[in-house]
Structure 1
Amino acid sequence: MPPLGTTRRVLMVSQHPYASHETQPPFWGHPNVSRNVAELLAHGVEVDLVCTTPRVCYGRRPPGRAGLRVYGIRMKERRSPALWYPVQYAVFFLWALFVVSGLAWRRRYDVVQVDNVPDFLVFSALVPRLRRVPVIFFVFELMPEMTAARLHLGPDDLRLRLVSRLQRAALAWADRVITVSERLRRIMGERGLDATRITVVPNSHPLGDLPAAVRSRTPVLILPTTLIGRYGAQVAIRAVAELRHEWPDITLRILGDGEYRSRLVALTEELGLQRHVSFSPGFVPWRQAVEEVRQATIGIVPIISDGYGELMLPNKVCEFVFLEIPFACSRLPSIEEHLPADAVAYFEPGDAAGLAAQIGWLLRNPEQARQQAQRARRAMADLEWESASPRYLRALGVASTSRPPAATREPVPPPMFLPDAKSLGLRRRQPAGPVPPGLSLTEGEGTSLGDPGLFAANTPAAFWRLLGEPEPTAAQWAAAVTAAAVELPETARVAGDDIQALLLKTLGEGQFGPGHWRLSRALRLYYGLRPVLPRWLTVILRRSRRRSASARSALNWPIEDRYVRFQWAVVQQMLRLLGRTTLPFIHFWPDGHQYAFVLTHDVETAIGQGRVRALADIDASHGFRSSFNFVAERYPLDLDLMGELRERGFEVGVHGLKHDGQLFRSSHEFLRRAERINRHVRALDAAGFRAPCTHRNPEWMQALDIEYDLSFFDTDPFEPIPGGTMSLWPFQIGRFLELPYTLVQDYTLSSVLNEASPRLWLEKVDFIRQHYGMALVNTHPDYLSDPGTRRVYTTFLEAMRARSDSWNALPSEVARWWRARREAVSIASLPGAVQNTISASEAVNSTRVNVSLAG
């Protein structure tokens, strides 16, 4: 491929038509061809386009398209009988071979792009290929599947085998492949094509310059489509026949043309729907079609399941999504992969009654329909042309310069005493792109010991933030660490006493072995069956593990103090090495607060979401703020609720994708789902994440676009992946900050341990307070309907309200403070910071150190 930014001239070959307004009616053009040409021209690239046009032309320069030359042949598209397909393919191939060969001898191109169908059209670039010009193959359709569906061919049919061989040859011959969906990319990868050679550029279009839409006052259904059987206009017409009695003013507008038109008109007349169904005069230019779509009430995507429809992510889906038009759609795998059930009204393919029912629901519930459209846009945010365009340009070696990069989110407003990133001069996190180099995201199923670099920022020097001169040297810190390491478990010291190895073994949980992150077979079976298990049975199963879990645990519980003792021993050794009796340092929390107190809530189900307001009221009535983490695709998200929470001072985060126990099934599955999670994080303007069931893998999680994570804990033998980081404080894991929970979860406390009071919580808080840690608890509105569980929680809040020396902060505030404290160049540069002093205890061998506020 040409280096990025070197492409100045592109030869594009496509049997699809290019739009022309020189005929009446205007000659329709394939929207993706027009989009690609316009994008290249906008970036100063010259384009020679070989395509179909209303008249034969050779080197014509369309007005208003500087840099474009069109080499077109007139060809009327015919689909019936099927013999027309190979005839048209052969005619255009010969035309393209003739034109491309002549142009390639006379002009030097940087890249040749060839669109299918047919696949063998890519071989028209023979001469450019001989001249070592890179050939990009843009695969809009999978020819074998399309041919099998169109001609009803079995897998052993000679014609289908020929088409399959041609496709494999074409894919292998091209230097790079572009396709329109992840599903098609995976299929081509399964057929032997190197997945790194495939770029996904979806069927989306630039829509940013459209004025505000004015929706019709009467129900208008819209269906922009080519009129062939597969696209299901007949299903939409039959659905209108069922809806017209409840909605007498309903109208279905069908935009497009095709061989099925006469049958559809006849069906409309047969059902007496002439007043309710209208057809455009013919093919409608894309821009005009978009204008009509914007006025519609509801969009329809009634694709038939014929063996090929299952692979489609059509233009109309992208148009409805990015224009925020609520729509009803056939339930097809390629569409479900991008749009969860709460983002679109699905019906079974070919089911007119099901379609009518979904349209009726959308019409009767306009507010829910509006929220559905918003969820659809969030789910497909990465497929908008503003995001997809740079991928297309990079595949062709074109530097993207005319569009500014997508804006990052504004920071959540901090409290008065807490600085934001800008005031501190700190860099905002960047959106997650490719997985950072060096991460072991292979199908090892969590068997890696881990990357020490992920935890390297958490040195004792960064933890203590000592002040004064002279600063301790690296050698002195290393000596202090070596001496203090004896306080850690023996399993944490087997790789040596250097700080990176110790941090990997403790914060990185490396002391539990290379298979730590992998779920046992029994747990994988449990998560497969859990959707059908009654809750009483899951409680019994978890209680049955109680005694064995605590007995097997390598860490102490509920209080694990060895990492605490290690940090205190390090600073005691430093005092000895420096010959000092006291050392100043930046106190752990703003304004001298003794410890941090953080309330988080995971909303696991729709029932739990319905109880969020009540739980927020409980927190607020005790003077506390908290965060609520929502499962992105398990239930319809209530966006109004989230807005209300933010207005009240609460925080919103993401709690996984589906909460089905499958997120960490494999690295491939995690990365696939991480892309969708990142879309929801951006769409919800969230900063944080917690993995369902606290399944976790620090290396894989580097693919998440988050500021902080809540999936780890200090010690907990009752979780599916037991163990813990041993830390009472936040710490850095690669590109995000980790806020481990340090108080046992509410479900474990009440349902597994049968505790009827907050005793365990309060005793642990006393220990955390003594060591200036972070008391972070995770509770669930799903479980607080139980009077006993709710009583334990409210009693706990009453006790915490009586303690005035904690800093109740949102997770995002804690994460930003901790990061700012670590990076502050001086105490004066950190608003809210307090200087403290630390002195060694009188007991020579004690690892306890007395700490007191300065002044």
Structure 2
Amino acid sequence: MKHHILILVENLPVPFDRRVWQEAVALIDAGYEVSVICPKGRGHDKSYEVVNGVHIYRHPLREAVSATGYFLEYFTALTYHFCLSFRVRRRRRIDVIQACNPPDLLFLVALLHKVLFGTSFVFDHHDLSPELYVSKFGRKDLLYRFLRFFEKQTFRLADASIATNEAFRDIAVERGAMAPDRVVVVKSYPEASRFRPTAADQSLTASGKHLIGYLGIMGQQDGVETLIHAFAEILHVRKRSDINCLIIGDGPELNRLKALTARLGLGQQLQFTGYLSGPTLLAHMSAFEVGVIPDPPGELNDKLSMNKVFEYMMLGLPIVQFNLGQATKEAGEAALVVPEHSPKALADGILTLIDDPARRQKMSMVGRAVAERDFCWTGEAARYLKTYTDLFRRRFEAHDQRHYSAS
């Protein structure tokens, strides 16, 4: 009988969450049965459906905008996950629960199933929940200390941990006290065959205009407001009317950012597209001349592997970003790193690249070469699946040991 994996996701719907969807499909292709519990949203609003063999159970969710809302969001989501996990179990025995943070409360669901049914637990470490809280609310209070406690308990319960990069692996080992052989790095690369430059959307390539762009979520910690102020600097202070800006994506800050754009008088030169996917997304991004990463430096962003770094490089886009440790390491010579965190400095970096097409071309070639050589989901999927192979091997060996001791 096939092993059954239940994946828990709190902050993004599936299959919108690309990393989780890639993992689920890899498991299906390897012969596992897979169920997912996740929120509704981004056009995925069915409470239950089966997509490509993956059973998806969805629940309502409203993202927090305050510290109190943060608690209520997680408590509500946790309640849904408890209830839906038993609905999943009524359909099929669960062999492993894989919890994808944030939050680090989902280990409680795994704990109950481990105690009652002997279910194994794999922690897929997407985000640094304590640092995320500080980034959003700017304080290390009682709730922050709770988050550190829950993170520690998550690692303590986990039979294996999947880290998104080497910095996260070090946290699992040093802060989480996990054995190094129980932690594997699996990076979030897009599928190279599907994420390639294409014909640019001609409506975006106005004659005599350069296009800069941003792709990603628009939350408080993502720095899109800094990009808007930088573009206002370019347009109003530097008097550069030859540059347009396109912001792709959505998130809790979208309406506020649109209002800010109107107040700054950026007119039609800064546009929001909302969420895009597939060929439409690629046609829009292929019109970019520069990809911007406005995320501010800090404890959180310095350690994150950002999807947009990989996506920009796969499309051959030169990058402008602040001095972010992990992103700077991963982008290498494909990025112009702005040392000062300010809209003015970001504007300087953008104009430096816009006014130097030869440098842009060189950065584009470097980024594409690195992406074609290193950004391979197939290799990451193999490491991901090995986590489960090793887990079931250890379970089998432990079962044999218990049987031998009993006899």
TM-based fold match above 0.5: yes
Deviations 1:412-458 (A, max 9, x none): xxxxxxxxxxxxxxxxxxxxxxxxxxxxxxxxxxxxxxxxxxxxxxx
Question: How many residue pairs were aligned?
Answer: 377
For 1:125, which of 110, 114, 118 is the aligned residue? 110
1:119 positional shift: 0.7
For 1:356, which of 323, 347, 359 is the aligned residue? 347
CA–CA separation in structure 1 for the residues paired with 2:2 and 2:341: 46
2:211 partner letter? V
Deviations 1:450-509 (A, max 9, x none): xxxxxxxxxxxxxxxxxxxxxxxxxxxxxxxxxxxxxxxxxxxxxxxxxxxxxxxxxxxx
In structure 2, the residue matched to 1:688 is none
2:38 partner letter? C
Deviations 1:817-851 (A, max 9, x none): xxxxxxxxxxxxxxxxxxxxxxxxxxxxxxxxxxx
In structure 1, the residue matched to 2:402 is none
1:326 partner letter? P
| Alpha-carbon distance change, 349 to 189 in structure 1, aligned in 2, over 3 angstroms | farther
CA–CA separation in structure 2 for the residues paired with 1:120 and 1:211: 37
Matched, 1:220 2:207: no
CA contact 1:100–1:127 (8 Å) conserved in 2 = no
CA–CA separation in structure 2 for the residues paired with 1:33 and 1:41: 12
Matched, 1:45 2:37: no
In structure 2, the residue matched to 1:169 is 153
In structure 1, the residue matched to 2:171 is 187
Q: TM-score, normalised by structure 1?
A: 0.41
Deviations 1:100-129 (A, max 9, x none): 234335523443211111112122123542
For 1:76, which of 62, 70, 80 is the aligned residue? 62
CA contact 1:138–1:179 (8 Å) conserved in 2 = yes
Which sections of structure 1, spanning at least 5 residues, go unmatched? 1-5, 21-28, 399-855
1:321 positional shift: 1.4
Matched, 1:234 2:225: yes
CA–CA separation in structure 2 for the residues paired with 1:347 and 1:384: 28
Partner SS for 1:239? helix
For 1:149, which of 135, 149, 153 is the aligned residue? 135
1:136 partner letter? V
CA contact 2:218–2:254 (8 Å) conserved in 1 = yes
Aligned pairs (5 A) from 1:736-747? none
Matched, 1:15 2:10: yes
Matched, 1:67 2:35: no
CA contact 1:7–1:111 (8 Å) conserved in 2 = no
Q: Which has the larger radius of gyration?
A: 1
Larger fraction in helix: 2
| Alpha-carbon distance change, 371 to 307 in structure 1, aligned in 2, over 3 angstroms | same
CA–CA separation in structure 1 for the residues paired with 2:79 and 2:45: 14
| Alpha-carbon distance change, 268 to 212 in structure 1, aligned in 2, over 3 angstroms | closer
1:288 positional shift: 4.3
In structure 2, the residue matched to 1:324 is 316
In structure 2, the residue matched to 1:563 is none
Aligned pairs (5 A) from 1:606-755? none
1:263 positional shift: 3.4
Matched, 1:178 2:162: yes
1:289 positional shift: 3.4
Deviations 1:577-606 (A, max 9, x none): xxxxxxxxxxxxxxxxxxxxxxxxxxxxxx
| Alpha-carbon distance change, 123 to 310 in structure 1, aligned in 2, over 3 angstroms | same
CA contact 2:196–2:282 (8 Å) conserved in 1 = no
CA–CA separation in structure 2 for the residues paired with 1:346 and 1:202: 22
CA–CA separation in structure 1 for the residues paired with 2:121 and 2:99: 7
In structure 2, the residue matched to 1:92 is 77
CA contact 1:146–1:308 (8 Å) conserved in 2 = yes
CA contact 1:14–1:51 (8 Å) conserved in 2 = yes
In structure 2, the residue matched to 1:263 is 256
CA–CA separation in structure 2 for the residues paired with 1:72 and 1:262: 25
1:135 partner letter? F
In structure 1, the residue matched to 2:297 is 305
1:195 positional shift: 2.4
Deviations 1:206-255 (A, max 9, x none): 13135652344631111112223321112222222333456423111111
1:133 partner letter? T
CA–CA separation in structure 2 for the residues paired with 1:58 and 1:277: 36
1:87 positional shift: 1.0
CA contact 2:302–2:325 (8 Å) conserved in 1 = yes
1:300 partner letter? V
CA–CA separation in structure 2 for the residues paired with 1:15 and 1:375: 36
In structure 2, the residue matched to 1:249 is 242
Matched, 1:33 2:17: no
Partner SS for 2:118? coil
1:265 positional shift: 2.4
CA–CA separation in structure 2 for the residues paired with 1:286 and 1:173: 38
Partner SS for 1:397? helix
CA contact 1:7–1:397 (8 Å) conserved in 2 = no
CA–CA separation in structure 2 for the residues paired with 1:38 and 1:7: 15
Deviations 1:713-768 (A, max 9, x none): xxxxxxxxxxxxxxxxxxxxxxxxxxxxxxxxxxxxxxxxxxxxxxxxxxxxxxxx
Deviations 1:538-596 (A, max 9, x none): xxxxxxxxxxxxxxxxxxxxxxxxxxxxxxxxxxxxxxxxxxxxxxxxxxxxxxxxxxx
CA–CA separation in structure 2 for the residues paired with 1:33 and 1:171: 19
Partner SS for 2:348? helix
CA–CA separation in structure 2 for the residues paired with 1:267 and 1:74: 29
1:325 partner letter? L
Partner SS for 2:52? coil
2:265 partner letter? G
| Alpha-carbon distance change, 349 to 185 in structure 1, aligned in 2, over 3 angstroms | farther
CA contact 1:343–1:372 (8 Å) conserved in 2 = yes
In structure 1, the residue matched to 2:380 is 388
